[in-house]
Structure 1
Amino acid sequence: MDMVLIGGLWLSGSVWDGVADELASLGHRPVPVTLPGQGDGAVSATLDDQRTAVLAAVDGADGGPVVVGHSAACTLAWLAADARPDRVARTVLIGGFPSADGQPYADFFPVTDGVMPFPGWAPFEGADTADLDEQARRAIADAAIPVPEGVARGVVRLTDERRFDVPVTLVCPEFSPAQAREWIDAGELPELARAKHLDLIDLDSGHWPMVSRPVELARLLAACA
């Protein structure tokens, strides 16, 4: 099965290399997406540009693909389900949750000179980074690409209620399935609360399992397929 892989903020498609190798060995076709503004050299990309790139990968897949979003890009995976509810076989959301209609995509950190740079590791100390050694931290930070303001502050638009029919798997790395269920029941994750087919799966890792546990993550994704 084809698997469209979408990295979160500051990440290019190359962050999936280890996962992609393992998926290929398991008989799947990985399709890592290099998002506009996050690896193609563009600095004026918008959220709509990134959505268009994801949809191009979905439309170019062989059959109905699994669409995998990481962190903030869980919203991009959800936008794909909204735009292609009859084509996306499943969304897999890793360490993040889809924003609702009308919300900003990822306005989390300061914007400087039109981009949102990687803020360093201080905001992520704790469970997010507990499984990253210094070499892994350095590699992520060195490769981090400032996210264009038009992406980070773009407004999410969802239009098709059939997105709730698309099966969803929420991979819980730095938080537990029990915590995620509490957030859903409390009304904090309204899009997931309305999903008709939602599975919660634990993964003992930090926020970047494609770096810290690529083989385990790939096998989990294969099982989702």
Structure 2
Amino acid sequence: MEIVLVPAFWLNARAWEQVTPTIEAAGHHTHPLTLPGLEAVSAPRAGIGVAEHVAAITAAVDAAGDRGARDVVLVGHSGGGPLANAALDARPDRVARIVFVDSAPLPPGGVIPSGLEPVDGEVALPAWDDFEDEDLVGLDDELRAAFRRDAVPEPGDVVTGAIELRDDARRRAVPATVIACEFPEADLRRWVASGEDFCRELGALDRYDVVELPTGHWPMFTRPADLGAAIAEAAAR
């Protein structure tokens, strides 16, 4: 399978460097993405919003594998999950499965939940004290220093922009996997059953499964090989 890897806020293709070897060892091809405006701290971010990021992911889907086959697995981490889901909406005939890493799809018109406000058109990586303790499990001082060194400000219009979706039936028919890091499967199923807002679109999918990978919000740093194995297993289904 062709595995397109969509990073979360502040990250680019480098975030997947320790994850891809495990996926490729399982026989898949990986395509880690750097989305527009995330190339470097010095990169221009003006005029880059949700549409530009979704277009970049969609182009990666088009470029991967055989365009006549359903041979792409889309993987989105955190805020990259709803963006990947929007690309799935654009190419439901190319994607065999979508994988949400500590993430979930949004309904049409949804905004990626972050509680963050842009400053001068961008959002920098917040101080660690601004995160919940559950987010930071496994992220020791060395990993935090490396993350902050490599972090790139997120384009503000991506943080505040709405997700546009059009093909509900075909998008929701594509099988999904949630790799749950900060919460167990039982909690997620309960939230879906009770109609919690952030799980409503997940509950509308035709089918999804859950893989527990207990750690903090950035498993590509804290458990990279295990994350790679979970993605490879999902792709093999």
**Bucket of the pairwise TM-score, normalised by the shorter protein:** over 0.9
Aligned match for 1:211, one of 206, 216, 221: 221
Aligned AA for 1:201?
V
| Superposed displacement of residue 42, structure 1 | 2.7
State whether residues 136 and 216 of structure 2, in contact with CA within 8 Å, keep that contact through their aligned partners in structure 1. yes
Structure 2 unmatched ranges of 5 or more: none
2:144 counterpart of 1:144: no
SS class of match (1:127): helix
Match of 1:18 in 2: 18
Aligned match of 1:43: 45
Are the equivalent residues in 2 in contact too, given 1:120–1:141 (CA < 8 A)? Answer: no
**C-alpha separation between the residues in 1 aligned to 2:94 and 2:142?**
39
Question: What CA distance in whole angstroms lies between the structure 2 residues aligned with 1:22 and 1:213?
Answer: 12
Structure 1 residue 106, shift from structure 2 partner = 4.6
| Pairing of 1:63-74 with structure 2 (within 5 A) | 63=66, 64-74=71-81
How much has 1:27 moved relative to structure 2?
Answer: 1.5
Provide the rounded CA distance (Å) in 1 between the counterparts of 2:6 and 2:188: 21
CA shift at 1:140, angstroms? 0.8
Query: Which one is further off, 29-38 or 122-131?
Result: 122-131
Q: CA deviation at 1:139?
A: 0.8
Matched residue SS, 2:127: coil
The alignment of Structure 1 onto Structure 2 pairs a total of residues equal to 225
Partner of 2:189: 181
| One-letter amino acid of the counterpart of residue 136, structure 2 | T
Q: Which residue of 2 aligns with 1:128?
A: 135
Among 84, 98, 101, which residue is 2:105 paired with?
Answer: 98
Deviations 1:170-203 (A, max 9, x none): 1100111111111111212121111111101100
CA shift digits 1:14-65 (9 cap, x unpaired): 1000111222222211100101111262312111110011001111111421
**Residue deviations 1:139-195 (CA, integer Å, cap 9, x gap):** 111211111112111111110021110000011001111111111112121211111
1:98, distance to aligned residue in structure 2 (A): 1.6
| Contact in 1 for aligned 2:83/2:163 (Cα 8 Å) | no
Q: In structure 1, what residue type is equivalent to 2:172?
A: F
Structure 1 position 56 matched with structure 2 position 59: yes
> How many angstroms apart in 2 are the aligned matches of 1:4 and 1:17?
13
Counterpart check, 1:163 vs 2:171: yes
Contact 2:108 2:165 in 1 (8 A): yes
SS of 2:3 mapped into structure 1: strand
8 Å CA contact 2:74–2:98 kept in 1: the answer is yes
The 8 Å contact of residues 171 and 202 in structure 1, kept in 2 or not, is answered as: yes
Over the aligned positions, Cα root-mean-square deviation in angstroms equals: 1.3
SS state at 1:5 partner? strand
Q: Distance in 2 between matches of 1:154 and 1:137?
A: 28
Alpha-carbon distance in 2 for matches of 1:209, 1:107: 18
User: What's the % identity of the aligned pairs?
Assistant: 37
How many angstroms does 1:125 deviate by?
Answer: 3.5
Superposition TM-score, scaled by structure 1 size: 0.96
Looking at structure 2, the residues matched to 166 and 58 of structure 1 have their Cα atoms a distance apart, in angstroms, of 15
Aligned equivalents of 1:221, 1:104: Cα separation in 2: 25
CA distance in 2, matches of 1:157, 1:107: 18
